[in-house]
Structure 1
Amino acid sequence: MPITDEIKKTLSDPTPLYALAGAGDLAYEKLREVPGRVEALAADRKGAQEKATATLQEAQSLLTGAQAKVTETVTGMPTDLKALQERAQGFALQQVARAVELAVKAKETYDELAERGKVVVDKARPGASEEGEPSERPELTVEPVEVVEPVEVAEPAEPAPAAEGGAEPAPKKPSRARKGAADAAE
């Protein structure tokens, strides 16, 4: 029964539903801001073009400087393998710490979306009060699933023809497996 317990636990946990509802509500909120932003961008298009041109020129000058810096860095790289190994290990540890930090932020965001979704679902649920107080939630019930073992099905027996005078049964035809083995033996 551990599988049915896990299924019950999974189906009775509303957190993913709340996270989905929260994400939908957040997307709706952000989409409502789009028309205002589009109007602001249209009005500021000319300024953006001038800014883009200036940024492009700045990027070209930075690229030239970066090429020189890369050349300088490559020529100045340490040739000591031990120093390179220590730097690589330090870098790897920094990346692990960063990955852990991002995982924590992802969990926090998921929890925030779930809480937001819970509020949205509780407000939308029939029977909620005027102040948005959640009504009582019905308990989810899961019926246990009966596991049925596979059953081998035998080939149907051929009915014996009624013989005149004698009740001798007709000889059986060999099954496909037997017939194949008999053919191979010949």
Structure 2
Amino acid sequence: MPITDEIKKTLSDPTPLYALAGAGDLAYEKLREVPGKVEALAADRKGTQEKAGARLQEAQSLLIGAPAKVGEAVNALPTDLKALQERAQGFALQQVGRAVELAVKAKETYDELAERGKVVVEKARPAAPAAPAEAAEPAAQPVQDEPVVEAEPVADGAAEPAPKKSARARKSAAADAE
């Protein structure tokens, strides 16, 4: 649907205008009630003033008795403070006990975990050499190997030449011949 058709439909829809008219009517109705409410408030003014005066006298009587109540609270305060201090000290001692208990449990758990870790590491570690005497022998000097050259393929019917020996094999054969 083209935009122009949508605009025409929106502008021809009377619903927003109806809503505006309804709001205006409600406002008019409420405004018509205002003069009656103002007259009722003016008539109740005397009753309201009397109620306010009674509450003021009540508040004044409370203020007169307030210093006595404050004095009683102040006199009772030191005993309350002592009791609070004793309760606070007891609570602090309880918490210290709990902290020590938790520290002991933490140490036990730590030790258990350490023992468990030790077992796991021992299982994962490779076995130690069987004969410690072999480890004590001096190691033979390493000999550098020369790369072994393989024999080249031979054509059909020809005799295969013997494979070439590595330098180590030649040295070993020479030593055996002496």
**Do both share a fold (TM > 0.5)?**
no
TM (norm. structure 1) is: 0.26
The structure that is helix-richer by fraction is 2
Structure with the greater alpha carbon radius of gyration? 2
Larger RCO (CA under 8 A, 6+ residues apart): 1
